[in-house]
Amino acid sequence: MTTPQHVQINQRLKQRDDGDLRSLLSQICASNPRNRTRFHDRGIVLFAEGDPVRGVYVLRTGSAAVSVSSSEGRVVILRLAHAGEVLGLNSVLCNSFYDTTVKTLAPCCIDFMSRAELIEFSERSQAGANALLRLLSRELAQLTERTRALLLPQTASARLANLLLACSRESVRIEKVFTQEDIAQMIGSSRETVTRLLTALRRRNIIQITSDSVLILDRRALENMLDSKDQFETRAAR
């Protein structure tokens, strides 16, 4: 469970890193006149796990899912990337294969910078190199938080509650940028289980589901689900 202390620390890190991002993005654009900007629709794979690295993708607008998969085809979404994030950075600096798959969740405007251009930029600009290190640090912090949210809650209902709470920190209205299949991949469950749990939450007036959003009606009930073990899932199955 994410504590208030975790939230405060993450907010301070985000404020500092947002400044790093703005600085890094402006330096990338200034140093790379051949910077390639593209617009992508929802559902486009920018790069796939195991692909040879080509460069980094700077998400200007929109959102994307960062996922990994097993040899059996099971997919787990590690995190959601939002405007301002640099995707594929770790793999590019390691000069190996991409270790995740990134797929757009909404129409996106994306800048691309090749590995050679990024390395040249980091070697030429100490401020840019420092920003890259902080971006990597933030990515690791996000992955640690997602791992905690995915592995520590014992039930699918607790993981779903944790996800809804995380997505509604700034607003009680969550835009439906991902499908129930996406949610299942984010909480390590099945689409059928997600459908059943969302229906149960709606019937208990904990959430309201519309065509374009999910409205959190009872945040305290979601928080209680984090420690309710299997009680909610037992009621939802009836």
Q: Which whole number is the average pLDDT over 26-33? A: 59
Residue 156 near residue 189, CB atoms below 8 Å: yes
Residue 214: its H or E element? strand 213-216
Burial level of 157, CB count in 10 A (0-12/13-18/19+)? buried
The predicted-structure confidence for 203-225, as pLDDT tens digits, reads as follows 999 999 988 889 999 999 999 99
Q: Domains of the chain by range and CATH? A: 4-150 (2.60.120.10), 153-236 (1.10.10.10)
pLDDT by residue (tens digit) across 31-45?
Answer: 555 557 889 999 999
Burial (Cβ within 10 Å: 0-12, 13-18, ≥19) of residue 12? exposed
Query: Residue range 163-190: average pLDDT?
Result: 88
Average pLDDT, the chain: 81
pLDDT at 236 over 80: no
Sign of the C-alpha dihedral, residues 132, 138, 139, 141? positive
Q: Which phi and psi angles does 36 have, rounded to 5°? A: -100, 115
Burial class (CB in 10 A: 0-12, 13-18, 19+), 151: exposed
Please state the pTM of the whole predicted model: 0.72
* Cα–Cα distance for residue pair 176/168, rounded to 1 Å: 12
